[in-house]
Chain A
Amino acid sequence: MVNSNGKKSMLKVILNPSRLLGTLAVISLSAGSALAQAPEIALGAVVPSSGPFAEWGRSNSVTLKMLEKQTNDAGGINGAKLKITILDDGAKPAQAASSLRKLAGDEKVLAVAGPLTSSAAEVTFPVANEMKVVATSQASSKPGVAKLNRPWAFRNTIDEGMLAKTTVPYFKKAFNIKSVGIIFDAKDATAATVGKAIMPAALKANEIAIVNESDPLSFNTGDLDVSAQVTKLKSLNPDGVVVSADYSQAITVLREMKRQGLIKPVVGATQLISSAILKAAPEIPIIAPATFFATMKGEAAEKFVTNLQPLLRKESGLPAEIEPSMYDANIYEIVSMYIDAIKKSGVTGKPADVEADRAKIRDHLAKLEGFQGLGGPIGFNDDGDAIKAFYVLQGQNGAWDTKVRGCSSAPNHAGC
């Protein structure tokens, strides 16, 4: 009887489109309100939405909002709604540290993605240790920054020293390089370390002479005139040039090289990877390592680009032709790893459990192996840096091409 009545009423609903729509709406609203009323899982992010790296920070924000929506549309995390609070640090170390303090202290987030730069990470990671909250940088690659701030600091990046060991031999072989000149941004922590220590060591190991070894050429972040430095480089007639700077500053150097007719292959660190740099001097080949690039092959990477790119291009304040960057991929992976940790390690998200929850996320990340990132499996080494696949890319005539695939493997940890 009950069955028969139930079948009849179900039939009525199916045969009546307006009732069917109404029923579906009620079901969907009740599901939505159930998620809305469910406990929240609070995560935080510190990105530079203003200042010299605003493009990266703004696209990071769009990426995080997309991931937040994807997660909540799929039912949240163990039934709880994901809320990501994003704060702008303007790429200023002090502002990054105070943002993390606010996220951990006032917003009670379980973990933080960011900050972006090594300069900011150097100041912010000690605060993460003090507040006992995981912070994972999406871009810092200056050697040892996470290592100095264990156990709460992580980086979803690879140490530039490790990347240079693969990048420089390819550069040497591809362009028959016997000598190089080095120019670097003295005010950028990663660029200065790469220019003064990492690249000279890698070049010497590969028996490449540095024509200005005793006379380093540098400039300051924000300089538009590098004519004197490029004239000097040109007079030394190297086979290639090391440009250690973030891509927006490197563009200035490449434009000046082109203007002065110094058309020589360029090698650098992950900071060079961008679409914009390919337009600066298309005829100058650029060699740099990356863990992700927008035209990368693979199901996860291609799906990520397909979903994110239209959102980035709709966002005001971002270039109309923008593509997802390596740092968008990194921050997407960071929060995905946090979600994975919350799902698998018994995180409750209750205010009373915040300290225990943070420790569970930290322990999960420290032991993480084989997490499926956009470019393959990801884990962390004992220094808190990512073990993941990387690629040596060659940029020329407007496109990046993969030349070498490598892995930042570490002893006693799973590889890529």
Chain B
Amino acid sequence: MPDMRAPAPPSTIAATPVLAVSDLRTQFFTDSGVVRAVDGVSFTVGSGETLGIVGESGSGKSVTAQSLMRLLEEPARIVSGSILFQGRDVLAMSHAELRKLRGAGMAMVFQDPMTSLNPVLRIARQVVETMVAHGSFGEKEATERGVKLLGRMGITTPKRAINSYPHQFSGGMRQRVALAMGMSNEPALLIADEPTTALDVTIQAQILELLRELNRDFGTAIVLISHDLGVIAGLCSRVLVMYAGEIVEEGPAEAILSHPKHPYSWALVNAVPRLDREPVAGKKLTAIEGAPPDPLSVTRGCRFAPRCPFRIERCAEHPELLEIGIARKSRCWVTQAGVGLDTPAPAPSPLRDRAKPPQTLSREQRDQEIDPSPLLEVKGLVKHFALPKRGFLEPYRHVHAVDGVDLTVKRGETVGLVGESGCGKSTLARLILRIHRPDAGSILFEGNEIAQAAPAAIRPLRRRLQMVFQDPYASLNSRMTVAQILEEPLRFHGLATTSTECRERIAELLETVRLDPKSGARYPHEFSGGQRQRISIARALAVKPNFIVADEPISALDVNIQAQILNLLLGLQEELGLTYLFIAHDLSVVRHISDRVVVLYLGKVAEVAPAKDLFAAPLHPYTRYLISALPIPDASIERRRERLRLAGEPPSAVDPPSGCRFRTRCPLAERICAEIPPPLIEHGQGHFAACHFPGKF
């Protein structure tokens, strides 16, 4: 679309960077003290450049982005520094000038496409408003342009879309609308704050591709903020790593991702399991211990020193961000002295250096371990949820959440369950745990049929069958202390009767999940997300189960904490002989932890295979797309990768397609796919796929 391309910038502007930030300090003046969210950050963004900012939550990356547009409100204040946008000082601008700048010069796309659009206004109103408000277009022209923009953003029927309301769109579509609004005045700089975090991998790949195109076709500079190194790797040419309000490393994406020069970047790079290579030290991930520093306290030395495996004496002094190579800067005494981080000191294994907890495997459980029959056998499981009726006489419509799923879990193995949101993976977990009652099918757990059993009949079995939940904030009762939370299952199942017994067992459980045994008297809100997830695991372990269903246990956590929790789960499996059904949407994590993987699509199993085989030679086209959509945190690989693009969105589970569920998005689909649902057939050793043309893609 050549008419929408920005005119080539005059050479004078090209020389000055689009954005030059120097020594920016943003602080929150809260009642309990000053939080130094951004503490002396300097960087530049050249015209047409793509800059990535990475860091865990609380590192100050979002506050930096908000400071750039001066979107912060009390108690946050920009206390010092300067922000020059195309040579003009943003901090000295009046409100009228700022309004002109926002949207026209600099635009921002937020993380949550569900809340960043106004739900009561039509898309047209919102898109047109941005253009008309800046006086660049009249109402009518703006509408025409809006339709064009939506089309450019990959919305298939833009004429109809522009007259819809935001709720009629899925998350990915809304993010496209948000991008259309952001791009409507052809800004010189687009700030994207975690734009794909709330989206599924296949949709994430689509949005990232779109951002790449916008950067290429319009010459828009992009600042991409993300916690995901893979996302950064594919899009950004330069990367800033932030920790505790400071930039700790700066450099080209390739270089940072392959040879990080700050221990924190090193930890970030190594904490994530990767699709393209085997983990170095067995299954243990490199996780740095501890948590980021308290933002209220001010440390004199290096802020990362307390967690750093490379710490030296000099780290008690605060290091400066210094040049250590061509276009590379690092805030670390160690690498500034020329020492590399490539041969890491072995990360302290939390499991090895502590005494094994006392005998946790009962004789009975040991005996069962030899038993070759599967621990869990699910056959033809179905669950439909009724939707509210549209009218009094209308028939009920149903969401086909789980629609005939077969699943076997053997003793001692880890089965990974993957799929996009809405594929029924969480419902499946809740059916196996009998939180919901299935509509049809059978669930055999240790030879007991529990699909339709009465709650009272299942109660004794619950001792062996436990669950770890996704949201560490919602899964613990905030009105109970940790000790009370752990005591409940112990008392209920008669595993501890006296209060001394309880206290001992609770201390033991807390130690098993590497928490302070004395923390029982505290309430959940006093713990961080990762610690709360440990409490949740301790609660599941309290009854000494042999099977744990983990429903996305790490997806709400930062990468480093993810690695800690994954290591903990792996260690516990080794120690206690647990069997896991591990649900996740992150394929690299699933590949890392699982022996076998089950891929779900719209309530049906698409493919089942041993983890290695599935990733080496996927048979179902959907699996291939999923693997291809996952970004790899290595810029050179990521750039060279040939990308398969899965178009469109999953169809509605209310009215699933006939025959093969995937046929509406499948490039191989033929007539047979619409007529006969493909059965799940074994094609190789333990490798099943439900496809009429397996491996043809």
Q: Do A and B bind each other?
A: no
